[in-house]
Chain A
């Protein structure tokens, strides 16, 4: 059974701080990794994707991938109240399907 695990929330951070989200996956053959943001009652929207070991930065967001440890993370720098949402980690196993974690809810307090 291929599994995607995310650190349990909710995660509460003060405005301006760094929010750190973690995700582990069970299959070493996984090819690509996606972070989606989902506001309450809305559909997911892509924040970042990564497929090579190391860091990938896009604005205030940084994704980090360590395939040896089967670990992918998302850092949100200078957190804003608008970042308050549930963040979903998704893994593509190479068979055209995504498997999603349960999500981590982030609350940024002003």
Chain B
């Protein structure tokens, strides 16, 4: 059963803490993405990776970090430098990241800062 998994589904963080969101895919896709969605807004790109051991900043990368050590995994760390991290985080993947490639989304992680 192919797809994208994200964990945890809900995450609570105290101010000043770093937290890591997991994203795994078994679709054999080269490209992976992290988005943030705030209430009533569209998705904003945080980071993306087109190949293992390479990734690029998206539109709102400040306060976040990623790694891409394996093709199937693209974890996102929300650092204490991110001033307003409460949001719905979505991981996505596509075959090659090309202009015509559909992006498939995981179920998301809802992060709340206490």
A interface residues (Cβ-Cβ under 8 A, vs B): 4, 31-32, 34, 42-46, 49, 51, 88, 90, 92, 94, 96-103
Size range of the interface on B?
Answer: 20 to 34
Report the minimal beta-carbon distance from A92 to chain B, rounded to whole angstroms.
5
B63 contact set on A, CB distance < 8 A: none
* Bound-state Cα–Cα, A88 to B44, Å: 12
**Chain-A contact segment, one of B66-74, B77-85, B92-100:** B92-100
* Bound-state Cα–Cα, A98 to B42, Å: 11
> B102–A43 contact, CB under 8 A?
no
B interface residues (Cβ-Cβ under 8 A, vs A): 31, 35, 40-45, 48, 50, 58, 90, 97-100, 102-108
CB within 8 Å for A45 and B105 given contacts A88-B42, A88-B43 = yes
A99 contact set on B, CB distance < 8 A: 45
